[in-house]
A and B are shown apart, each in its own frame.
Chain A
């Protein structure tokens, strides 16, 4: 472990803390604070880009050599093309399995950067920039990040782990995004609306009902897509990524390149 390794994890820990606060805001927003439920996600959308900027400048600027940077750009381009293809068809999201596999092979930091940059670039191309974008970038980054922290395994067991993780992360992604924008999407004054004066448990109960009614199909579709794609393309893609990693020796600066496995 070099000094820069520890610092990356410090930046990622800060991102995790900021992410938890940003996604859990409906649980701690109090009515007496004077901030309305429509303003809260906007406020976070102004602070989260700073968090993302720090983590990305640290990951891309300090930890990656030029080969990793080019690989990051090209894989983000693949995701950028896949995203509009999959939009609008019941949760058929094609981008996550790529982040999961790349995060698995190239490491957690690369996975985070790939997730965040893929979402950013595809938002630029489809002009989907909005207050939801920092949230999406952060969540997709976490999908790639945790993929890099999965336990060691080979062969079928590895595919099984990755597919399971694909399903779990698909649901988590959907729930987190829905939860942070739920008060925003449905508005107030309905029985399933966010109510700042109600207790966190009451709000959570309302959210679960709202989410079951509106987003279950999407989340399930996304989870199945991830699992199927990992089983279909996982083995050859992992092989391809690992071969490239060996060729280009994606190693932290200052340490020696590993020999072929």
Chain B
């Protein structure tokens, strides 16, 4: 059967972007080398800038950058204020303030060492780049399309999410209508009293809307939930997911990493199989589904490859090596060939996709071709 979806070079399956970003994020979690982190962050930002769309979610990467800076700032603040003062190179000393008895062992202030500060900066930078990876996935993947490609067993839950996403703007409009009506009646719109007099009509409106929506959905065949269609797959899924939680617990709390990771992987595979079985029982079809082609596979593999490479390097050299440069004594971090490979894998989606064509908008005001002429026209007008 030929795939129904149309494939273009500019759109990638949203889950491919997520797979790539999570893979890079896992790779980042395995290193504190600031040079590698800076390279990955730059590559990430380049990919986002060149491949993002003009949709609202594509601007979210700025929020994640700010969050990253906040994380770095907060960690440095705590290190300076209540740092444990390891290392010998004292940069400066804050006045010490002893704390009462119940907070025994804690002192505010004291000497601030270069070693402690650099260590904190490395660790904070790692976290910041991990956040940036999540931000990149948010900016590149269309959340609504990602929602459409969830497993069929999650169909009903995704219907609830889609309802929520589409009703939310209508509710804002409804709140504005109620406030306008109150103003026309000359009622004061202030204080806590307003909260209940505006909130109740809006909520009542919302609930009435849900009843009529339910009627509409029922007439369009949404009410097919008779009994529990995923019943057969449920015990398998529950046992598998418990298995993976147990595996994770062992992975964190013991040294039996072989047993732990095989439990984890078995649990994940079992859950995936359970979802597949549950989905088959549901027979849900999608209209023009996003297709998963070789480009999606390669983008996903590049992310996972980066993760595997960094984790393997860390496993081969448990003492740290180039991935975890020493901060006590302070040392200039090294850059190895493997790290350049990780950076190249981060940049791989650039080769596999093409930049979006600039959108032509009906209004001349937003037409990019017209807008590009504007400075010229203004210059000509000015020179006249």
Contact = CB atoms under 8 A, between A and B. Distances in A.
A56 B203 CA distance: 24
Nearest to A62: B228
A66 B172 contact: no
Interface string A173-195: 00000000000111111111100
B57 interface: yes
B230 A57 contact: yes
Nearest to B275: A53
Q: Which of B86, B170, B228, B252: most chain A Cβ within 10 A?
A: B252
Nearest to B56: A127
Contacts, number: 294
A233 B196 contact: yes
A183 to B, nearest CB: 11
Interface string B51-80: 000000100100100000001001100110
Nearest to A68: B214
A74 B74 contact: no
B211 A240 contact: no
A118 to B, nearest CB: 8
A69 B160 contact: yes
Interface string B267-297: 1100100110010001000000000000000
A34 B254 CA distance: 9
Interface residues of A, number: 87
Contact of B131 (A36, A130, A244): A130
Contact of A66 (B139, B225, B227): B225
Contacts of A193: 84
B348 interface: no
Q: In terms of DSSP, what is the predominant structure of the interface of chain A?
A: helix
Given A81-B172, A186-B78, A240-B203, A69 B156 contact: yes
A21 B211 contact: no
25 contacts: A4-B227, A33-B253, A35-B252, A36-B29, A42-B29, A47-B244, A54-B271, A60-B159, A61-B230, A66-B217, A66-B218, A66-B223, A70-B163, A73-B160, A76-B161, A117-B161, A117-B164, A124-B165, A125-B168, A129-B134, A185-B74, A190-B79, A233-B196, A237-B203, A247-B211
Given A61-B282, A186-B75, 19 more contacts: A10-B238, A28-B252, A32-B255, A33-B251, A38-B29, A38-B130, A58-B234, A62-B229, A66-B222, A69-B156, A73-B167, A77-B167, A80-B165, A117-B157, A127-B138, A190-B82, A191-B82, A237-B203, A240-B203
What are the 4 A-B residue pairs with the smallest beta carbon separation, nearest first?
Answer: A73-B163, A62-B228, A127-B60, A76-B164
Interface of A: 4, 7, 10-11, 14, 17-18, 21-22, 25, 28-30, 32-36, 38-40, 42-44, 46-47, 50-51, 53-54, 56-67, 69-78, 80-81, 113, 117-118, 120-121, 124-125, 127, 129-131, 184-193, 209, 232-233, 236-237, 240-241, 244, 247-248, 253-254
